[in-house]
Amino acid sequence: MTAFANQTPLDMTNGYTGDYKLDHDVLDELFSIIRTENMRDHMLNTFKTSGSNNIEALKQAAEAGDTKAFLIRAHSIKGTAGTLGVLPLHDKCSYVETLTGDIEPDTMHQLAHEIEHIFLEGHARLKAYICLSNSK
């Protein structure tokens, strides 16, 4: 039995409170550097593409029962989410990184599903934020 077996990771409160927030300070600082609409749109598209690729890799790692690969992808997603101020995604991936021992494949599948859901919501909110920023 792993140390993880005694935890309840399937509850969305583990690393995510349900109150979806973007870090406006991070985004404002980032957009003081990335000033053009084209560059902001490119950033959003890159976030979507890389995030989708990493989530697919999370699912593949879960399917293979590969905890190490799963944690590496969660770490990659966390870094991008932190850079772009997508706090719930960053927090969920940070939580995943705290897990010790082997993570059961079913648990990895559930976590991948949760991360995907949080990512999609984050992408939508980031897109809306960029649209508002571009209209200023």
Domain spans of the chain, in order of start: 22-134
Transcribe 27-43 into DSSP letters.
HHHHHHH--SHHHHHHH
Q: How far apart are CA 34 and CA 121, in angstroms?
A: 22
pLDDT band at residue 135, thresholds of 50, 70 and 90? confident
| pLDDT 10s digits, 14-54 | 555 556 789 999 999 999 999 999 999 999 999 999 999 99
pLDDT at 101: 84
Residues in the chain: 136
Helix, strand, or coil (residue 98): coil
The b-or-e profile of 99-112 (16+ CB within 10 A means b, else e) is beebbbbebbeebb
Q: How far apart are CA 124 and CA 130, in angstroms?
A: 10
**Domain 22-134: assigned CATH number:** 1.20.120.160
pTM for the model: 0.84
Mean pLDDT score of the chain, rounded to an integer?
87
Burial of 48 (0-12, 13-18, 19+ CB in 10 A): middle
| pLDDT 10s digits, 88-112 | 999 999 999 999 788 999 999 999 9
